[in-house]
């Protein structure tokens, strides 16, 4: 759903400028940026979840690798790439 909203961002913004009834639903630049960030984070969660919920049970090393991937991506998103080496 987030990916679809991002794909149609320009159309949704245009529609919000043209239709006064839709104006209350338009997003600011910062809100669109937050949607993009959430979309990326949810993609990482989805990918890791697919590994965990496969037909065979994942081994411990895959579990920790997946959890670390989620942690690292969340850390980079919140604090920036320059702080990633300190986590």
Between CA 5 and CA 28 the distance in angstroms is: 13
Assess contact for 87 and 72: CB atoms under 8 A.
Answer: yes
Alpha carbon distance, N-terminus to C-terminus of the chain: 31
Q: Where are the alpha helices (DSSP H) in 19-59?
A: 29-52
Question: Which pLDDT band, with edges at 50, 70 and 90, does 55 fall under?
Answer: low
Asked whether the predicted pLDDT for residue 85 surpasses 60, the reply is no
The least confident of 9-13, 14-18, 29-33, 60-64 is 60-64
pLDDT tens digits, residue range 15-49? 888 888 888 888 889 999 888 888 888 888 888 88
Q: CA 64 from chain center: how many Å?
A: 21
CB contact at 8 A, 40 and 70: no
Q: What is the pLDDT of residue 69?
A: 83
């Amino acid at each position: 759903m987030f990916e679809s909203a991002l794909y149609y961002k320009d159309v949704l913004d245009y529609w919000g400028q043209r239709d006064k009834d839709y104006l209350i639903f338009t997003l600011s630049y910062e809100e669109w940026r937050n949607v993009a960030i959430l979309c990326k984070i949810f993609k990482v969660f989805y990918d890791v979840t697919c590994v965990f919920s496969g037909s065979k049970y994942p081994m411990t090393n895959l579990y920790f690798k997946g959890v670390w991937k989620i942690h690292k991506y969340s850390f980079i998103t919140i604090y920036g790439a320059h702080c990633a080496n300190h986590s």
